[in-house]
Structure 1
Amino acid sequence: MKKLFSELKRRAVFKSLLVYLGVCWLVLQIIAVLTPTLNLNPLLGSALFVLLICCLPLVIYFAWYFDISLAGVKRTPDLNEQASAGKTSWQLGHFAGLTLVMLVSVYLGVEYFTAIKQQQLAKQQAVAQARLARTAISTIAVLPFSDNSPAQDQGYLALGLAEEMTSLLGSAGNFKVSASRSSQFLSEQGLTAQQIGQRLQVDTVLSGSVQAIGKRLNVRVTLLNVNSGSTLWSNSYARDLTEVSDIEQDIGRSVVNLLQDKYLEAGSFNTLASTRSADAYVMYLKGREQYRKQTTEAMQQARQLFEQAVALDPEYARGYVGLADTLLLLAEGDTVVQGFGVINKDIAVSLAQQNIDKALTRQPELAEAYAVRGLIGFMQNKFELAIADYEQAIQLNPSLAIAYMWKFLALNSLQRFDESLLALAQAQQLDPLFHSISQNLGITLSKFGRFDEAIAIFKQMQLDFPQSPFSHQGLADIYFGQGNLVGAIAEAQRAIKLSPDNHTLGHKLIGPLVQLGLTDIVKQKASDPAWTSTTDFYQETLLIFEQDFTKLFSRMDFKLAASPDDYWLQFEAGWYQAMFGNKPQALKLLTDNLALIEAEDMFGMPHCSPAIEVAWAERELGNKASAQSLIKQCNSLLEQQLQSSIAYFELHYLAARIYALNGQPTEAVQALAKAIEIGWREWWTKYDPLLQSLVGEPEFQQLIQFMDKDLARQKAEALKLFSE
């Protein structure tokens, strides 16, 4: 070893290495400075480093055989040889050794550089993913704050502050905030914050506590990571009640800075429509407390509280929005999601418009104000304007669940069914525990033939709301739409047991009973005064099953004499005559006094009734042009709905009637077969005068026999439900 070191020193290998390493260090330092300055590829430095390392064995090899200095390059003689000017510097073996060293160096360099490149790419991807995670949509739920007051009488403040924070975070960029209604419901079920977050499918949960002592407000908040259950951030605030908006801003700014990797300075995250009046704020929160109860009495109280709030602070925009919203829900009629019917509709709309104008004048970027203005447009049947307002509200606050819900209603009114389903699904994602949203989504999915998804929603509603009849009502509708009348009857019975005074549920039971011809059971129900108003609706059908046509037509004549200007009554009488009575009388009743019906009511889908029945009557009277015009319009509406993925069996039955009227028996039978396949079970199909041209078709008779047989089977099964 001593001899080797001595030879390395004699051949100046150490000196060459020191010089080479010095040059390498200098070059790498220069590259390190130039790479960020000139925005060079980061791999350039790595590649140069690998190259210099790979050249190190070559430098050692050359240094062993040559003395490299400023005087030039000289062959270093071996110890046992004499220097000779005429001697060849290198032998063949020397070149072979150099080649081997070069090959090994190149191989090791390529392998090492590949590994470094892969590590560098992995690091870049990790950085990109981290940035994406910080800038992606953050999902959060704000739980109702707990009331820490000694008397536990500040619940309105605890819930109200959570609602305000939900609205504030919902307007922040890249945030998806679950509706406070769902958070409140789950909190009332006794779930932990982490369990609530998991149910709402959010990443984080903001919870807190409040206590007001005089005009002093104490708030403590905690931000929880749902996946790990760990606390991400917490803080306490103690300020005057008049500074509550400042507290909300500070909380919102801290949450955004933490979850979105931002830095928002104090005062840069503003809450909208705040008030510096503590009394106005308290009145507003108490109004919201009454509003959440959703009863007529509570809504009237909410109206008074909102009026007091804006009286105390005439610049309080959110107070005007709450007042306008309450006025609309107090309107008479069924044109809103849930009306409480104590104010004339036109007056309610006018007052609401005045208040919402005041709100938008004071705060033109308040999402809730546009949502309520959209509801005003909806109640005025200005559906396009309503949708524009809802979209504006959603743009300002993408987490405003009620705006999606109301948008669904407007789109549905325009028969833009695919868009309406999308809006409703978005509402349900944000507010999965809102009863009306879930119910409407289940109903809408069933219209699209997505029965499994609809059933799953109603089953979940049964778990969440075990005392509510509406999940059973939804399942009854689905089973009826599938032709499962026994299932519809069973679910209707369960719904009625939970809400015996709901007459709408009575129809869910009596309808399929009549469909199956179980007239004795219906008559038994009719003897109960509580069922009289429901069973009276089916008296004509009962007379048909009893084949008492004389009494049927006498009853209809009496009704017509009592209400000569009611076209729908006239239509009903004409339809009975068309199926079981006098055809000329039927044609007269169907076509006379059409001016009594509004144009938009002429083509009621999915049956396109009474237009399609009138078309048949006009054709029978020889008015072919008039009949064809009606048929053409019905066919256009039919195609429009079929293209929108609507899966009503009535649409295929309508197609069968149109084909039959147009003299296309093969297509008519095919359409009827499709209707029966997906659930059509109307007992009167065999008597339909619009299909009489198909009576001679064997395929038509086979379909009627199949339906009669299935109705008989279900009738026997339904009887068992009432014998148990």
Structure 2
Amino acid sequence: MKRFFGELQRRGVIKTLVAYIGLVWLVMQVVEVVSGLIDVHEMVGPTTVIVFACLLPVVLYISWYFEWHEGSMRRTVAIDSGKLQPLGFFSWFGLVTVLSFSSYLGYDFLTNIAAEKAAEAEGQSQIKQAESIAVLPFTDQSPEKDQGYLAVGLAEELTSLLGRSEGFRVAASRSSQILAEKGLPPVDIGKRLDVETVLTGSVRATGSRLKIRVELLDTETGHTLWTENFLRELKDIFELESEIGRAVINLLQDKYLEAGSFKSLSSTSSTDAYVMYLKGREEYRKQTTESMKQARKLFEQAIALDPEYAQGYVGLADTIALLGDGPTQFGVLANDVSATLAEQNVEKALVREPNMAEAYAILGYIAMIRSQYEGSLSAFDKAIELNPSLAVAYMWKYRALYNLNRYEESFAALQKATELDPLAKAGQANLGWELSRRGKTEEALKIYQQLINDFPDYNMGYEGVADVSYSSGDLSESVRYYLKAADVSPDDNEPMFRVVDVLLELGMAEYAGKLVDRESDDYKSFFLVREGRYDDLFDYLEFQLKVHPDDPYLTFEYAYYQLMFGDFKIASKYTEIALSNLDDDFIYLPHLYLPAMQNIFIKKQLGETQEVIRALAELKEKISETDQAGWYHMFMDYSKARVYYLESMEESSLESFENAFENGWRQWWTRFDPIMKPLFESNEKARLLLELHDEKIETEMQETLLLPELQALASPAQDAY
């Protein structure tokens, strides 16, 4: 170190440093004096300081190699040789590196200072570091209260605009609107949506003039962070949206956006087209068949008023896509027709505005309509790239990934969708279902209970609780919630059918018979087997097979009951027929795998050892895939118990059966299961567990009998459902 400082002194580096500091001080004095005499730009002082500071490393580096001698610069001789050495590659490389690094630092500092001063001049310097926001529907303050479409539409546009900002999570408009309609205060809405800030305001239209007031609130403290009033012409609404969005970003993010740098992508030159578009959005939000038809007409009128209106084409494409005849659509158009028409309109939108995230999301949805799930993902990813807060893109991506059996990725997309849009009913129902099949029953119940609280007239919340209760072995509770689901959705037969299923599971055929027609083809075989009328059961199924000889599900049902209560040879014959016609999705259900296991059991009884080994290996691979997908259910434990017993692994089979029982396994046919029956007969612990299992079913039956909802529904005066 001593030698190094000696070398600095010999080369004149320290002397140069002192002289440089003196020069800088002198120049700064001159700048200060001049600034006081004349009006100079506010950046002169900061620029001078930064330039001199960044030049210092360069000056010191040069002074290491050169010295000032008798009025001219000359090279400094090396101390070891006493001779001048030519500047080599590394010396020049070092000079370029120091110069480049100093220039970069200077530019970065100057840019940041300029942005800060510009923000201060506009009153938009950062007042809070926040990474999340919700835009609430604006209050309609028009005298006639007929500007609701404008108030909500403005909030939707601002949500979409802010969603494009990287690193800024924006809650979906739909959730904000639902909570606002419930009358919650803005701060409470922000807390429910788990955002740090809330943007709210009011709008009043008088002729073509708009009076808009905006207010930015801190969710944690409830304090107002910023408020502003705007008086503009309706034709300037898009510039105003951009101005408000830019102000919010500047106030909450550690960056500064210059005026004109944050533009709305949904602008139109026709105010009439914009109004027509907002009215179309108002109809679209109602999500009924008639409202969607009306929305389509309004979007078409908006485009007629301005054929260059990209957002109008997007709205029209979205509506037409949802008018298809798929299970989650409105059934007005054939799917191929709706997909083609929607695609044509999306392409028109992208020609006019190639960076609209919503357009790419709809392209992905159109691909899903056509079952092109792999192809849809690139469109969804592009939409998310352009707008990381676009909840619907994540929701549709979840569906596409699920159909591709990419379950963990699909679950992650669903979680993101519900984070952005926590009051989306379908999203919450799907999240509850995904959690429950992963064995996270407490989390699933919390989701479903919140769904019931938010939407007491929505049946899926009740059905969700019922499904989780059933899977947990709480059969009486499942009956109670299926009945509630049937009450809030009387046109949906599924909840009542599930009530009947559980009642038959509990051996309550008499009660079940009061709720459905026990002679119907949907239920006759279930009533016959639960009442122990096996001869009548086989006669009925044989007749049905003559009527429907090509029905593989009916064939398997006949083989299944024959194996438990009838003839082994008949069961063997019809199992083989069923398996030759059943698709893999039925054979390898994620829970029971009934046909595959039944086939293995029969082959084992027939002594076909090699076939049993092959089929067991294939079945275990399918179960392993289910495990890897994160699925968990009591049925999985019972399935493993059966597989282990088929492999003659009695202890492992017993352990899995015990796990299934503890996790809620309550199936009436367990005692008659031909695969497990030898274990129950030969193993004392297995026999005791089976007795406990049957006692639990009896307890659940007694508790179900006490349900007042069931008593009222199944009274003698009650007609069949």
Q: TM-score when scaled to structure 2?
A: 0.77
SS of residue matched to 2:169: strand
Q: Which residue of 2 aligns with 1:70?
A: none
* Counterpart selection for 2:618 from 628, 633, 636: 633
Q: How much has 1:694 moved relative to structure 2?
A: 2.9
Contact kept, 8 Å, 1:137 with 1:176, in 2: the verdict is no
Bigger RCO (CA 8 Å, 6+ sep): 2
> What pairs with 1:540-555 in structure 2 (closer than 5 Å)?
540-555=525-540
Contact 2:128 2:251 in 1 (8 A): no
Determine which of 598, 613, 619 is the counterpart of 2:598.
613
| 1:270 corresponds to 2:263 | yes
User: Which amino acid letter does the alignment assign opposite residue 161 of structure 1?
Assistant: L
Q: 2:572 aligns with which of 583, 587, 604?
A: 587
431, 439, 445: which one pairs with 1:455?
Answer: 445
Aligned to 2:147: 154
Residues 354 and 574 of structure 1: is their aligned pair in 2 closer, same or farther, counting only changes over 3 Å? farther
Shift of 1:274: 2.5
Q: What is the alpha-carbon distance in structure 1 between the residues aligned to residue 379 and residue 595 of structure 2?
A: 34
Q: Does 1:199 align with 2:192?
A: yes
Alignment of 1:471 onto 2:464: no
Give the corresponding residue for 2:180: 187
Letter in 1 for 2:503: L
Corresponding position of 1:364: 354
Contact 2:129–2:254 (8 Å) recurs in 1: no
Aligned-partner Cα distance in 1 for 2:142–2:537: 68
Amino acid at match of 2:627: L
Q: 1:96-175 to 2 correspondence within 5 Å?
A: 138-175=131-168
Q: How far apart are residue 631 of structure 1 and its match?
A: 3.1
Query: How far did residue 331 of structure 1 move?
Result: 2.1
Distance in structure 1 (CA, Å) of the matches to 2:158 and 2:701: 55
Within the candidate set 408, 414, 427, 2:417 is matched to: 427
What CA distance in whole angstroms lies between the structure 1 residues aligned with 2:182 and 2:176? 10
Residue among 406, 412, 415 paired with 2:396: 406
**Equivalent in the alignment of 2:64:** none
Aligned partner of 1:417 in structure 2 is 407
Are residues 1:677 and 2:662 paired?
yes
Do residues 710 (structure 1) and 696 (structure 2) align?
Answer: yes
Question: How far apart are the structure 1 equivalents of 2:533 and 2:149?
Answer: 62
Aligned 1:223-242 pairs, distance under 5 A: 223-242=216-235
2-structure distance, mates of 1:603, 1:153? 56
Q: 1:685 to 1:136 in 2, by over 3 A?
A: farther
Change (3 A) 1:639 1:28: same
How do residues 383-532 of structure 1 correspond to structure 2 at under 5 angstroms? 383-526=373-516
Provide the secondary structure at the position in 2 that maps to 1:276: coil
Conservation of the 8 A alpha-carbon contact between 2:149 and 2:278: yes
Match for 1:681: what amino acid? R
- Going from structure 1 to structure 2, the CA distance change for 1:632 and 1:320 (only over 3 Å counts) comes to farther
Cα distance change, pair 353–599 in 1 and its aligned pair in 2 (3 A):
farther
Deviation by residue 1:642-672 (Cα, 9 ceiling, x = unmatched) = 1333221122222222222333232222222
1:370-385 equivalence runs, <5 A: 370-385=360-375
- Cα distance in 2 between the residues matched to 1:582 and 1:311: 72
Q: 1:676 to 1:359 in 2, by over 3 A?
A: farther
SS of 2:706 mapped into structure 1: helix
Residue aligning to 1:296? 289
Asked whether the equivalents of residues 149 and 282 of structure 2 are also in contact (C-alpha less than 8 Å), the reply is yes
1:691 aligned residue (676, 691, 708):
676
Provide the aligned C-alpha RMSD in A. 3.0
1:467 match: secondary structure: coil
Offset at residue 678 of structure 1 (A): 0.9
Aligned AA for 1:281?
Y
Q: Which runs of 5+ in 2 are unaligned?
A: 1-17, 29-48, 57-125, 713-721
Deviation of the 1:543 alpha carbon: 0.6
Q: Residue 660 of structure 1 contacts residue 693 of structure 1 at CA under 8 Å; is this kept in 2?
A: no
Deviations 1:156-192 (A, max 9, x none): 1111111111011011122111111111111111122
- 2:430 partner SS: helix
Q: Distance in 2 between matches of 1:608 and 1:549?
A: 24
2:280 & 2:480 partners in 1: Cα distance? 41
Decide whether aligned partners of structure 1 residues 347 and 550 sit closer, same or farther in structure 2, where only a CA change above 3 A counts: farther
Work out the CA distance in 2 between the residues paired with 1:585 and 1:396.
Answer: 61
Aligned equivalents of 2:498 and 2:386: distance in 1?
41
Alignment of 1:243 onto 2:229: no
Matched residue, 1:253: 246
Instruction: Verify the 8 A CA contact 2:238 2:267 in the aligned structure 1.
Output: yes
Alignment of 1:264-343 (within 5 A): 264-334=257-327, 338-343=328-333
The residue number in structure 2 matching 1:575 is 560
Deviation at 1:39, TM superposition (A): 7.3
8 A Cα contact 2:579 2:595, kept in partner: no
Between Structure 1 and Structure 2, how many residues are aligned?
602
Cα distance in 1 between the residues matched to 2:23 and 2:688 = 87
Q: 1:560 to 1:217 in 2, by over 3 A?
A: farther
- 2:34 corresponds in structure 1 to none
SS at match of 2:676: helix
Q: Decide whether aligned partners of structure 1 residues 357 and 605 sit closer, same or farther in structure 2, where only a CA change above 3 A counts.
A: farther
Q: For the residues of structure 2 that align with 1:317 and 1:281, how far apart are their CA atoms?
A: 11
Secondary structure of the corresponding residue to residue 266 of structure 1: coil
- Whichever residue aligns with residue 219 of structure 1, its letter is I
Find the counterpart in structure 2 of residue 345 from structure 1.
Answer: 335
Q: Which runs of 5+ in 1 are unaligned?
A: 1-25, 42-132
Partner of 1:140: helix, strand, or coil?
A: strand
SS, match of residue 232 in structure 1? strand
Structure-1 separation of matches of 2:608 and 2:149: 67
Cα–Cα, structure 1 residues 554 and 346, in superposed 2: closer, same or farther, change >3 Å? farther
How far apart, in 1, do the equivalents of 2:617 and 2:338 lie? 40
Instruction: Give the structure 2 partner of residue 23 of structure 1.
Output: none
SS of the residue aligned with 1:149? coil
Instruction: Kindly provide the amino acid, as one letter, of the partner of residue 220 in structure 1.
Output: R
CA distance in 2, matches of 1:660, 1:268: 69
- CA–CA distance in 2 between the matches of 1:340 and 1:226? 38
Pick which of 233-242 and 697-706 moved more.
Answer: 233-242
**Farther off after superposition, 596-605 or 655-664:** 596-605
Contact 2:191–2:219 (Cα < 8 Å) also in 1 = yes
The residue type equivalent to 1:168 in the other structure is L
Alpha carbons 1:476, 1:508 under 8 Å: kept? no
1:302–1:326: 8 Å Cα contact kept in structure 2?
yes
Change (3 A) 1:213 1:502: same
**Structure 2 CA distance, aligned partners of 1:247 and 1:642?**
53
When structure 1 is superposed on structure 2, of 397-406 and 375-384 the one drifting more is 375-384
Label 1:494 to 1:234 Cα distance change in 2 as closer, same or farther (>3 A): same
Deviation for aligned residue 1:471: 2.1
User: Residues 587 and 621 of structure 1 are in contact (CA less than 8 Å); yes or no, is this contact kept in structure 2?
Assistant: no
Write the letter of the residue equivalent to 1:227. Answer: E
Query: Which deviations, in whole Å up to 9, do the C-alpha atoms of 1:322-364 show, x marking residues without a partner?
Result: 2232223222232xxx322222223222322333333333333
